């Protein structure tokens, strides 16, 4: 399988949830399909939906892209007026159908389904506690631990009623790390963000003839806009909301954190540019990064171009700030995608050429600045520089990166590789420059990144920048432990 992202941080996950008025007969599954399609960039390994009519739950999950998992035939049985959906990239839990979401349980109080974006850093402890209480686990996903915790009432609750609100509030006290959740119960849709707000989650509504017919939650606002819904707001860190026939209402708030910690990589790479996060346009923030990069690391060059697609806003802003013309330098083959046809060894060695072509007409004989959003392992930048030199015939290639050097792994749900694999952990900037074969290389500073991100941000907000600084907002001792990592692996190996 060709890695569509090449040397990129692997995406997190995307979640969506819909509650609709039963009498309006909204096609919930079809709406979720298009929402998940809009969130495809957040996970490409598996996709799934669970829908309910208040009595029964229908589920369909599969490996692959949304368009590969769903079709008219398997959407048809997904009936009901509420549902949740999920795109997955595996972080905790291997890439098998057993780990695909939503995770669904039948409980004494009706169906329970969970879709999760993030990574619970104390999932090993949670899994062990569940097994000590006699709960059998069938997957290596932390989402299963979340669902089982909700299904098994804590000791302080009476077993006579569901008390979903108190169960979810208790989960927020127990679970550590990053989690945005869409949860389906018999008669309600629930949405929850972890107390640090590390993963995004927003809420909106869909109107017909001026009347609200459905409420929705999604990882990014672009998913809601895709189906014509209006974005109402983002969930606050530590907020739990219930959506039912009475509308949407907050039922629990965790104590506010000293500083919220939304993943700053949402702005750098993960989020779609047309999404809004912390009330800011991702496109605008990326442009600010490019302008700040130009101030910190100007280059004497003839033209600027960005590595498609997420680097383009920063590259255009870099060009404008320095008065250097912007031109296309690389054309992306958008349809190579995730093919299951294995390339030959020769093609594998030249995988960058499968993904990009250089525009020789624009590059030949020019001193060029190539802007990228990040460098992770360094395995793609070198071939890109060679492509621009050899196929594009550029005279000089100056690389500028619109984020700081990634020196630390992420333990909160983003696959950024290990310390040994991160090139900026092993080499300084001068050595990386030689490694990739550039004439010069410079990164945006940590201070510059925060200046760009924070310019339009509400007071009191903050971000997790641990991949750049090593300052983790949660205790990562357990998730880094090899003992606990081995505990997270299921012996069942279901496929």
* CA–CA separation, 430 and 373 (whole Å): 19
Q: Give the model's pLDDT for residue 158.
A: 62
* CA–CA separation, 51 and 73 (whole Å): 15
Confidence of residue 259 (pLDDT cuts 50, 70, 90): confident
For 306, other C-beta atoms within 10 Å of its C-beta total 28
Q: Mean of the pLDDT values across residues 246-274?
A: 93
- What's the order of all strands across the beta sheet hosting 396-401? 303-306, 367-372, 396-401, 440-443
Residue 426 token pair:
């092993």
HSE at residue 243, side-chain half, CA atoms within 13 A, is 26
**Per-residue pLDDT tens over the stretch 193-229:** 999 999 999 999 999 999 999 999 999 999 999 999 9
DSSP 320-336: HHHTPPB---EEE-TT-
For 8, other C-beta atoms within 10 Å of its C-beta total 20
Confidence of residue 455 (pLDDT cuts 50, 70, 90): confident
pTM of the model: 0.90
Q: Is the pLDDT of residue 11 over 60?
A: no
Q: Mean of the pLDDT values across residues 361-367?
A: 98
Q: Give the model's pLDDT for residue 138.
A: 83
**Per-residue pLDDT tens over the stretch 126-159:** 999 999 988 988 877 789 999 999 998 777 766 6
Q: Mean of the pLDDT values across residues 230-255?
A: 96
* CA–CA separation, 8 and 484 (whole Å): 26
Task: Decide: helix, strand or coil at residue 176.
Answer: coil
Write out the catalytic residue numbers. Answer: 13
Q: Give the model's pLDDT for residue 352.
A: 85
Q: Give the model's pLDDT for residue 90.
A: 59
Tokens 């392992």 -> residue: 377
**Residue among 400, 414, 398, 403 at smallest CA distance from 451:** 403
Which burial class, exposed, middle or buried, applies to 487 when counting CB atoms under 10 A from its CB (0-12, 13-18, 19+)?
middle
Q: Give the model's pLDDT for residue 349.
A: 62
Task: Decide: helix, strand or coil at residue 267.
Answer: helix
Tokens 């915790």 -> residue: 149
Task: Show the CA angle centred on residue 367, arms to residues 363 and 372, nearest 5°.
Answer: 80
Tokens 């998992």 -> residue: 69
Q: Is the pLDDT of residue 93 over 60?
A: no
* CA–CA separation, 192 and 252 (whole Å): 9
Kind and range of the H or E run holding 86: strand 82-88
Are 468 and 289 a contacting pair, CB within 8 Å?
Answer: no
Beta-sheet pairing, 110-120 with 103-107: antiparallel
Kind and range of the H or E run holding 363: helix 360-363
Query: Which of 173-205 are b and which e, b meaning 16 or more Cβ less than 10 Å from the residue's Cβ?
Result: eebbbbbbbbbbbbbbbbbbbbbbbbbbbbbbb
Q: Is the pLDDT of residue 96 over 80?
A: no
Q: Is the dihedral of CA 315, 317, 321, 326 positive or negative?
A: positive
């Amino acid at each position: 399988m060709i890695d569509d992202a090449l040397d990129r941080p692997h995406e997190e996950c995307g979640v969506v949830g819909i509650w609709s008025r039963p009498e309006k007969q909204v096609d919930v599954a079809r709406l979720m399909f298009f929402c998940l399609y809009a969130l495809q960039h957040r996970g490409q390994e598996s996709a799934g939906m669970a829908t309910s009519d208040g009595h029964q739950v229908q589920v369909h999950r599969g490996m692959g892209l949304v368009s590969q998992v769903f079709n008219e035939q398997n959407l048809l049985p997904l009936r009901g007026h509420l549902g949740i959906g999920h795109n997955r990239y595996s972080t905790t839990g291997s890439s098998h159908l057993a780990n695909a979401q939503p995770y669904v349980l039948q409980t004494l109080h009706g169906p329970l389904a969970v879709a999760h974006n993030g990574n619970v850093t104390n999932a090993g402890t949670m899994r062990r506690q569940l097994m000590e209480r006699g709960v059998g686990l069938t997957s290596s996903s932390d989402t299963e631990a979340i669902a089982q915790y909700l299904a098994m009432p804590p000791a302080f609750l009476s077993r006579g009623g569901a008390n979903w609100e108190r169960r979810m509030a208790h989960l927020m006290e127990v679970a550590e790390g990053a989690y945005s959740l869409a949860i389906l119960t018999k008669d309600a849709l629930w949405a929850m963000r972890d107390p640090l707000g590390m993963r995004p989650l927003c809420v909106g509504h869909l109107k017909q003839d001026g009347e609200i017919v459905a409420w929705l939650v999604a990882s990014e606002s672009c998913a809601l806009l895709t189906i014509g819904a209006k974005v109402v707001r983002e969930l606050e860190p530590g907020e739990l909301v219930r959506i039912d026939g009475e509308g949407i209402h907050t039922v629990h708030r965790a104590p506010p954190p000293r500083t919220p910690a939304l993943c700053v990589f949402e702005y750098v790479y993960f989020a779609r540019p047309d999404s809004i996060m912390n009330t800011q346009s991702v496109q605008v923030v990326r442009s600010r990064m490019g302008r700040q990069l130009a101030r910190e690391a100007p280059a004497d060059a003839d033209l600027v171009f960005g590595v498609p697609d997420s680097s383009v806003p920063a590259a255009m802003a870099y060009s404008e700030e320095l008065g250097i013309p912007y031109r296309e330098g690389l054309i992306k083959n958008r349809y190579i995608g995730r093919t299951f046809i294995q390339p030959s060894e020769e093609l594998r060695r030249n995988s960058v050429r499968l993904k990009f072509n250089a525009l020789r007409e624009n590059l030949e004989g020019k001193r060029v600045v190539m802007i990228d959003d990040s460098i992770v392992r360094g395995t793609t930048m070198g071939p890109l520089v060679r492509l621009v030199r050899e196929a594009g015939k550029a005279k000089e290639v100056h690389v500028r990166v619109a984020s700081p050097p990634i020196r630390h792994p992420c333990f909160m749900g983003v696959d950024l590789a290990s310390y040994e694999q991160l090139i900026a952990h092993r080499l300084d900037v001068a050595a990386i420059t030689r490694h990739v074969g550039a004439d010069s290389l410079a990164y945006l500073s940590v201070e510059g990144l925060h200046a760009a991100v924070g310019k339009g941000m509400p007071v009191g907000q903050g971000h997790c920048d641990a991949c750049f600084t090593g300052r983790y907002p949660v205790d990562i001792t357990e998730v880094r432990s090899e003992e606990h990592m081995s505990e997270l692996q299921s012996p069942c190996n279901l496929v």
